[in-house]
Structure 1
Amino acid sequence: MLDATLKKQLQAYLEKVVQPIELVASLDDSPKAREMDELLREIAELSNKITVRQSDDANERKPSFAINRVGTDIGVRFAGIPLGHEFSSLVLALLQVGGHPIKLDAAVIDQIKNLEGDYVFETFISLSCHNCPEVVQALNSMAVINPRIKVVAIDGGVFKSEVDARQIMAVPMMFLNGQHFGQGRTSVEEILAKIDTKAGARKAEELNKKDPFDVLIVGGGPAGAAAAIYAARKGIRTGVLSDRFGGQVLDTLAIENFVSMKETDGPKFAVALEEHVKHYEVDIMNTQRASKLVGGKLIEVHTESGAVLQSKSVIIATGARWREINVPGEKEYRNHGVAYCPHCDGPLFKGKRVAVIGGGNSGVEAAIDLAGIVKEVTLIEFGAELRADAVLQRKLYSLKNVTVIKSAQTTEVHGDGKIVNGLSYKDRNSGEVKRIDLEGVFVQIGLVPNAEWLKGTMELSAHGEIEVDVRGMTSIPGVFAAGDVTTVPFKQIVIAVGEGAKASLAAFDYLMRQPVEEETQEAKAA
């Protein structure tokens, strides 16, 4: 299954295995099982610390396999063949079960070790999903650290009957002890925040003890990362408060227009951003969401966990999120036929009929992508014409299984109480309401700024964006903003990075021009 080049690379990685591991296969007579058996035997041939055997345990999914540390109860399981985007998850699992150090902060590792109770995680994935590996790798690392955590990554394409039975129409989808736990890209810290119920209070207490920052950046996307780097290079005390480092970039598949790199993908770009920031003395406070801002000599940023941070200046870079259509049925059927990531969830709709709402670049790209997977695609555009680039429109119209409906307003998403089965739209020319029978709806209508928490605090535009001047300053002294959350036009990564750097330089200039605080009498006497 593995070509010579891949085998050579994998063999080099497996030299880092220090503990003997065993690959335990649960197989049936399916073609996938034969492929799995071949893969496991090829892996075992690459290291003298790896052995392989078959199990006759009737309770395990077939085909699946476990990676176990010999003589311990440490292990992880894959139900399916982890190639494609999940090959990196396989390699990491082999290394970590084999004793290679896990790259997590010591405090996070201790938190995982000290979890009380037993946890069984099942994660449904697709091999084309670029968000799934982070979830799989996060849970695998947790299982290696704490053997009371059991995990299995399940390829929805292989276990289709289970996907249908559980009504899974979005990946990654996590279940904990048989109950729905969450979906979408999720980090170790985010998982811990949900299962360690006392973590929020402990984190708030820890944050409350921090000394005031010179600059506090709220948001960890491209704008926030650039701001942090430029601030830290000035030698001032810098902090980053973020609910997830990387922001919306984590949900972006292909990046082909960032100057200096011909192509990359969002998750790789986000990792590079964080590594660059960590190169400097920056206090990164992850899985924390700001809830309130109070201006003053020392500006306060309150968090949802109950903490209050202080800083001499603040840069808001909270970005934006996918805009919803806000019609009946959208929220009810989210992840049950209503989706926002065609790259992640598209394979789950193979052979089915879907609609894409939105005729801009993202909508047309989604329709083109889905056309190669699903039976039929109907693209619905509110305006009289599509807004996507001409080259994309030409490609779209060349596809035989794509129908384009313009001047159409989506009015309702229909379902049977469990999954989507249709969509209604109003013809804006005739006023007639029409219905389309389908199984999936992909919403691609742009972004909404993450600035609701600032309403009534500072000046926002009619679209909810933060009003900024040419230096990135907001209506509050000492508070700056950058990136997609602001009124700066053209929501692009390269622009967000530049605006983050500019806001950081402006904040530093602001700090330099503040009057020097007078020494206290006690300090003078000393």
Structure 2
Amino acid sequence: MIDRGIYGGQMNNTAEIENYPGFDSILGPDLGEKMYSSATRFGAEYAYGSVTDVEDHGAYKVVNTDDGSYQAKAIVIATGSEHRKLGVPGEEEYSGRGVSYCAVCDGAFFKNKEVAVIGGGDSAVEEGLYLAQLASKVTVLHRRDQLRAQQIIQKRAFANEKMNFVWNAQVEAIEGDGQVVTGVKYKDKITGEEAVVPASGAFIYVGIEPMTKAFEDLGILDNAGWVVTDAHMQTNIPGIFAIGDVRKKELRQITTAVGDGGLAGQGVFKYIQSLDDAKLRQNS
């Protein structure tokens, strides 16, 4: 297992996880630790390093990092994706303390509270509708004068009495009291006036980006940079698999990534077995 940081990935940015089977609630870093311990208990080794590129040599692959190279018969890409940031004051400071990029993950913390959703696409509006089931009020701030979401989703949102919309809103900052989020400051792009939407949570949906730069030369990405796989998690290169959020998929949760991992594990086993069988036939 090669990782550029501490094991657990984005789980380390989640204060509590309440939708993972087997736990009423568990801290993100603690779940990462349990997964790490489980993997190493069965012999997996762990190494730090940022992958720079991957070389395909047929029966073996070479993974190059900024701290050395590794050779393997098969590799599994699990680099995930990252949420596009607003880049405004308070966003990083209050990450995990009111700033979130996943309503399904964190919505339960804002039951009967006012929250803000930033964005106007399908994800923003759908997550806003989800939050409306929990929060007392959901305010959607969009930098344009109309949503980009599908019409059927827009219709549901406009019909929901808990949903409110602020148009032509350029978010300037995420405000807080030093501990948690208290509001979202924005500027009206038409009038130039500034205002603050009171909110205990700020859910940001301005797009996500796959972390696939190291694999650009392999020919396994689509036009948007996502890794393309079949139902068994294999790419168009035999021996190279991909799982989790780095794939183009509808639902990005820990449970779906774990499911991908199970399929990829079986695929890797069968692939290496086929290499060994081919070698035996060649030597017989």
| Percent identity of equivalent pairs | 22
In the alignment, does 2:19 pair up with 1:266? no
| Residue 266 (structure 1) shift | 1.0
2:225 to 464, 474, 478: 464
Deviations 1:120-178 (A, max 9, x none): xxxxxxxxxxxxxxxxxxxxxxxxxxxxxxxxxxxxxxxxxxxxxxxxxxxxxxxxxxx
**CA distance in structure 1 between the partners assigned to 2:221 and 2:169 by the alignment:** 28
**CA distance in structure 1 between the partners assigned to 2:112 and 2:73 by the alignment:** 48
Q: Which runs of 4+ in 1 moved over 6 A?
A: none
1:496 to 251, 257, 264: 257
In the alignment, does 2:176 pair up with 1:423? no
2:120 to 379, 382, 386: 382
The answer on whether the counterparts of 2:55 and 2:62 sit within 8 Å (CA) in structure 1 is yes
**CA distance in structure 2 between the partners assigned to 1:442 and 1:370 by the alignment:** 15
Unmatched segments (≥5 aa) in structure 1: 1-239, 347-355, 416-420, 427-431, 520-526
Instruction: Tell me which structure has the larger Cα radius of gyration.
Output: 1
Secondary structure of the 2:237 match is coil
Q: Give the direction of change, closer, same or farther, for the CA distance of 1:381–1:502 in structure 2 (3 Å limit).
A: same
**CA distance in structure 1 between the partners assigned to 2:256 and 2:103 by the alignment:** 18
- Superposed, 1:9-20 pairs within 5 Å as none
- Superposed, 1:291-330 pairs within 5 Å as 291-296=52-57, 297-305=59-67, 307-325=68-86, 330=87
**CA distance in structure 1 between the partners assigned to 2:173 and 2:21 by the alignment:** 43
Secondary structure of the 1:294 match is strand
| Residue 271 (structure 1) shift | 1.0
| Residue 363 (structure 1) shift | 10
**CA distance in structure 1 between the partners assigned to 2:129 and 2:41 by the alignment:** 42
**CA distance in structure 2 between the partners assigned to 1:513 and 1:479 by the alignment:** 14
- Aligned partner of 1:392 in structure 2 is 131
The answer on whether the counterparts of 1:340 and 1:443 sit within 8 Å (CA) in structure 2 is no
**CA distance in structure 2 between the partners assigned to 1:268 and 1:363 by the alignment:** 16
**Normalising to structure 2: TM-score of the pair?**
0.70
- Aligned partner of 2:172 in structure 1 is 413
The answer on whether the counterparts of 2:212 and 2:225 sit within 8 Å (CA) in structure 1 is yes
Q: CA RMSD in A?
A: 3.7
The answer on whether the counterparts of 2:116 and 2:140 sit within 8 Å (CA) in structure 1 is yes
Unmatched segments (≥5 aa) in structure 2: 147-166, 175-183
Secondary structure of the 2:186 match is strand
Secondary structure of the 1:491 match is coil
The answer on whether the counterparts of 1:342 and 1:370 sit within 8 Å (CA) in structure 2 is no
- Superposed, 1:431-442 pairs within 5 Å as 432=190, 434-437=192-195, 442=202
**Normalising to structure 1: TM-score of the pair?**
0.40
Secondary structure of the 1:480 match is strand
- Aligned partner of 2:107 in structure 1 is 365
| Residue 264 (structure 1) shift | 1.9
RCO greater where, 1 or 2, for CA within 8 Å and sep 6 or more? 2
The answer on whether the counterparts of 1:241 and 1:284 sit within 8 Å (CA) in structure 2 is yes
Secondary structure of the 1:262 match is coil
